[in-house]
């Protein structure tokens, strides 16, 4: 503390002196600048997953991201309901969202909170629609299968590896637990430069098996991405034989029990020699063809 100056007022014992004091403290402002998010994207990565990117101008803190069917969300909702990942560099941040609904339109929402708790603007992507489940709703015998996944970054725990290097021998397949062999098609990064990896399993690899296992091991000494194993169940087809004596049972709703199955206008069957018995069963009509 230093005395900078003083003044006096009056003379004698009743005089007063006023001192002006400089305490010598320097006020230093903390980080009060919020991150700025730009260029948000979102894209379907199949039936139940999505990928996205957003650009930030700060290299610390946490990025939260949330996929919803709303075109906009507030920061509190994104942080409370979404996923989060550490930010260690400025620029493009890659994210993966799983557990979505098929054939549904979504938007990806982002917010970045830096190490000083400054909250960025909310960035909302354009809409995107996840793929249809399709008639088979999953893998099929003898049908080519395309899957998407991301690889964990060994050098940055908790993050996915952007644009991972994939070489021959890194990915192998086993059918029903038998010896592993290289995948016919080497997985590729798609879209280029992203964290998303696309693997195409051929018709031959999807034929004659109930279980397919795919393992990925980075063969380089540095192992830039973590090992991964992807199990796939392949439903088998059931063939029903037809004997000489066949009893056909049909179920139909809201039909006249007196009329058998036929395309005839009056619902009857003529000159066939076939007897069909129609029996009510709850809301259904069970029609049985007698041999």
pLDDT in tens, 227-239: 999 999 988 754 4
Do 182 and 254 belong to one domain? no
Q: Is position 17 within any domain?
A: no
Q: Last residue of a domain, which of 129, 158, 189?
A: 129
Are 261 and 285 spatial neighbours (Cβ–Cβ below 8 Å)? Answer: no
Do 104 and 71 belong to one domain? yes
Do 207 and 263 belong to one domain? no
Structural domain range at position 107: 37-129
Token pair, residue 149, equals 């996944």
Do 169 and 125 belong to one domain? no
Round to whole Å and give the CA distance between 191 and 163: 9
pLDDT (0 to 100) of residue 79: 96
Q: Is position 21 within any domain?
A: no
Q: Is position 99 within any domain?
A: yes
Q: Last residue of a domain, which of 206, 233, 260?
A: 233
pLDDT (0 to 100) of residue 183: 95
Round to whole Å and give the CA distance between 42 and 50: 7
pLDDT (0 to 100) of residue 1: 47
Categorise residue 128: left if φ over 0, alpha if ψ from -120 to 50, beta otherwise: beta
Do 173 and 103 belong to one domain? no
Q: Is position 85 within any domain?
A: yes
Q: What is the mean pLDDT of the chain?
A: 80
Q: Is position 94 within any domain?
A: yes
Do 50 and 119 belong to one domain? yes
pLDDT (0 to 100) of residue 47: 80
Do 118 and 199 belong to one domain? no
Q: Is position 140 within any domain?
A: no
Most trustworthy range by pLDDT among 94-98, 174-178, 252-256: 94-98
Q: What's the distance, CA 60 to chain centroid? A: 24
Backbone angles phi, psi at 98, to 5 degrees: -120, 170
Query: Whole-model pTM?
Result: 0.46
Round to whole Å and give the CA distance between 175 and 145: 14
Task: Band the pLDDT of 92: cuts 50, 70, 90.
Answer: very high
Token pair, residue 117, equals 């708790």
pLDDT in tens, 16-71: 555 555 555 555 568 899 999 999 999 998 888 899 999 999 999 999 999 999 99
Out of 130-139, 151-160, 189-198, pick the least confident: 130-139
Q: What is the mean pLDDT of residues 105-112?
A: 97
Round to whole Å and give the CA distance between 198 and 100: 18
Q: Is position 29 within any domain?
A: no
In the chain, the number of structural domains is 3
pLDDT in tens, 176-193: 888 999 999 999 998 888
């Amino acid at each position: 503390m230093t005395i900078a100056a003083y003044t006096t007022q009056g003379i004698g014992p009743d005089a007063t002196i006023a001192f002006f004091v400089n305490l010598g403290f320097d006020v230093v402002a903390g980080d009060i600048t919020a991150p700025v998010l730009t260029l948000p994207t979102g894209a379907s990565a199949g039936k139940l997953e999505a990928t996205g990117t957003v650009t930030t101008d700060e290299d610390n803190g946490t990025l939260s991201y949330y996929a919803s069917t709303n075109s906009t969300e507030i920061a509190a909702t994104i942080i409370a309901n979404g996923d989060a990942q550490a930010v260690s560099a400025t620029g493009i941040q890659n994210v993966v969202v799983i557990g979505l609904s098929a054939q549904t339109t979504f938007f990806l929402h982002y917010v970045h909170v830096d190490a000083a708790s400054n909250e960025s603007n909310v960035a909302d992507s354009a809409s995107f629609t996840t793929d249809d489940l399709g008639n088979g709703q999953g893998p099929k015998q003898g049908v080519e299968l395309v899957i998407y996944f991301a690889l964990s970054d060994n050098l940055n725990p908790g993050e996915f590896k952007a644009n991972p290097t994939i070489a021959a021998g890194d990915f192998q397949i086993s059918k029903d637990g038998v010896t592993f062999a290289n995948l016919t098609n080497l997985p590729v990064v798609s879209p280029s430069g992203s964290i998303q990896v696309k693997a195409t399993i051929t018709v031959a690899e999807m034929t004659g098996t109930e279980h397919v296992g795919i393992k990925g091991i980075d063969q380089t000494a540095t192992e830039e991405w973590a090992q991964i194993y992807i199990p796939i169940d392949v439903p088998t087809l059931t063939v029903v034989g037809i004997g000489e004596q066949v009893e056909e049972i049909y179920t139909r709703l809201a039909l006249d029990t007196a009329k058998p199955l036929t395309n005839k206008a009056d619902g009857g069957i003529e000159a066939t020699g076939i007897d069909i018995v129609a029996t009510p069963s709850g809301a259904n009509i069970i029609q049985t063809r007698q041999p």
